[in-house]
Amino acid sequence: MARPMKPRRIFCDPDVLYFKPRAVPLSMLQEVDLSMDELEALRLCDLENLEQTEAAKKMKVSQSTLQRILTSAHKKIAEALIEGKAIKIVKIKR
């Protein structure tokens, strides 16, 4: 049985939930799902330029967990940009 996920602190609540290539209908695009954890990690580390240890404390996770979240987010965004996919921000109901 898997260990239950600890609650994470997320302060970001985006108004926009999709990003897509211009002039291509969303119905014709594949999507990459970006979780709220991944969005918050990107916001803290890449936008606010916090060190990973500081960002991890804010999210109430370990630094190694934050690193895994960030790596996953960077990979998904790169995939969307390179392969022309839409990015869907998935809000998890807790």
Residue ranges covered by each domain of the chain: 34-90
Percent over 70 (pLDDT), the chain:
97
How confident is the model at residue 93, as a pLDDT?
61
Distance CA 18, CA 47 (A): 19
Task: Supply the pTM of this predicted model.
Answer: 0.86
Where residue 94 falls among pLDDT bands split at 50, 70, 90? low
Q: How far is CA 79 from the centre of its chain?
A: 13
How confident is the model at residue 38, as a pLDDT?
95
CATH 1.10.10 for the 34-90 domain, yes or no: yes
The answer to whether 80 and 87 are in contact (CB under 8 A) is: yes
Q: What is the dihedral of CA 47, 53, 64, 10, to 10 degrees?
A: -50
Q: What is the mean pLDDT of residues 32-51?
A: 95
Q: What is the residue-averaged pLDDT of the chain? A: 91
Confidence check: pLDDT of 16 > 90: no
Query: Tokens in use for 36?
Result: 């709220």
Where residue 87 falls among pLDDT bands split at 50, 70, 90? very high
